[in-house]
Amino acid sequence: MSVRITGIGLVSAIGLNCQANLLSLRTGKAGIAPLRNLSDREGLLVGEVKLRNEELVSRLNVTDHISRTSLLGLMAAREAWNDMPHHSSLKAGIISSTSVGGMDRSEIFYRDYLNQGNPDYGLLLTHDSGNTTERIAAALGITGYINTLSTACSSGVNAMMLGARLLQQGKLDRVLVGGVDALTRFTINGFRSLMIYDEAWCRPFDETRTGLNLGEGAGFLLLENEKSIAISGNKTLCYVNGYANAADAYHQTASSPDGKGATLAIEQAISRSGLGKDQISYINAHGTGTKNNDLSESVALKNIFGDNVPKFSSTKPFTGHTLAAAGAIEAVFSVLSIQHNLIYPNLNFQTPIEETGLIPVTE
């Protein structure tokens, strides 16, 4: 039984829908720019979605007691769901993922709370990550299986994997899967405290890389089984054939120098798909631009592919690192890559990493 991808939706610094994202990727138009929507840290380089909350609220026609995380997620989720009617004989669900949840509102509350002003406790009602998904589900009329994963930067692809497994076991017939995170002061300060925030434009897989630029956005994909497409009539864009999750178990934030976790996951995903390693034509890498990630990931790629590493690139210099949304956004980029026979350039690359010598696609 195959799992089909039949709908995709995107919101990122390089566009408010799939078409706009694709155009930016094709023309090399990056979305990294000085921060505008958050008052402090002005000028910091980020991948911001170029709409304020008020504009999102009016475009999406929802109430304004909602987190930016839900707003961005709903925008991408609506594009992927594409007004598909519900059907009583089909079990539908949604799995979103987020790392900040409603922190964009909670941190405004907490600032006012510390300042002894008159904080609005109502802002906290959208704090929990599950709420961000419930709001998206409610807007799309999805009831029943409503779930949220939170596994930091792997969240988006984990949602996709869980959705595929639920379809494989017949628990659901159609499921919207994805990830979303809004830019927050919490995460910006957090990554700065880790000393891995690059004040300049990020340079994944480059020897001179010194860190990441945070971004925001959402990616959603609609997964359906045969029974569901017989009713929806949706066209299959791609199939989900292989997936895996493995723990690196090395350090809370750092990846292992031997790339153990990544190696295990890549190996198991390819093995599950039944494809040969030489059949992989493109890898959309995580490539955050931090010293640690890019080295560990490069080692993992060499562990798997030896001297025959397929064409690969990181799209983080376009979008910034969108945390829980990253895997979902990049999965949609990968669907677009297959549909349009495109490989995206790894911007800002000049010098290979000394230890591994891997060279990403740059044009």
Partner 1 sequence: MAPISVHSELLSPNYKDYIEGGLLRRMSKILRMSVACAKDSLQQAKLDQPDSIVVGTGLGCLQDTEKFLNTFLTVEGLLPPTSFIQSTHNTIAGQISLSIGNHGYNMTHTQNTLSFEHALIDTELLLQESDYQVLVGAADEHIDFLDQVKTELDLVLPVALTSGASFFVATRDRGDAARGQIVGIEAFGMVENIHDRIGSFLDEHKISATSLDLVLFAGADIAVCETVLASLTQAGVREDQILDYLSYSGIYPTSSAFALHLALDQFKLNTSYRYILVCNCLNRNNLGLILVESVEA
Note whether 322 binds partner 1 by CB under 8 A: no
Beta bridge partner(s), residue 238? 5
Residue with tokens 């497409």, as numbered in its chain: 229
Q: Which is nearer to partner 1, 166 or 353 (by Cβ)?
A: 166
Nearer to partner 1 (CB atom), residue 24 or residue 106: 106
Which window, 77-85, 187-195, 280-288, 306-314, contacts partner 1 (CB under 8 A)? 187-195
64 to 52, 128, 182, 283, 290: CA distances (angstroms): 12, 17, 16, 39, 36
The footprint of partner 1 on residues 328-347 (CB under 8 A) is none
Q: Which DSSP state fits 204?
A: T
Helix (H, G, I), strand (E, B) or coil at 200: coil
Residue 138 touching partner 1 (CB under 8 A): yes
Applying CB under 8 A, does 166 fall inside the site for partner 1? yes
CB of 346 to partner 1, least distance (A): 27
Asked if 190 is part of the footprint of partner 1 (rule: CB under 8 A), the reply reads yes
Q: How far apart are CA 91 and CA 161, in angstroms?
A: 18
Instruction: Choose between 147 and 322: whose C-beta lies nearer to partner 1.
Output: 147
Q: How far apart are CA 176 and CA 309, in angstroms?
A: 32
Spell out the residues 6+ positions from residue 105 whose beta carbon is closer than 8 angstroms to its own.
67, 68, 123, 124, 126, 127
2 vs 351 by CB, closer to partner 1: 2
Q: Does 242 contact partner 1 by CB under 8 A? A: no
CB 252 within 8 A of CB 223: no
Q: Pick from 122, 99, 121: which is nearest to 186 by CA?
A: 99
Write out the residues near partner 1 by the rule CB under 8 A: 99, 101, 106-107, 110-111, 114, 121-122, 124-125, 127-131, 133-134, 137-138, 142-152, 158, 162, 165-166, 169, 171, 185-186, 189-190, 192-195, 244-253, 260-261, 264
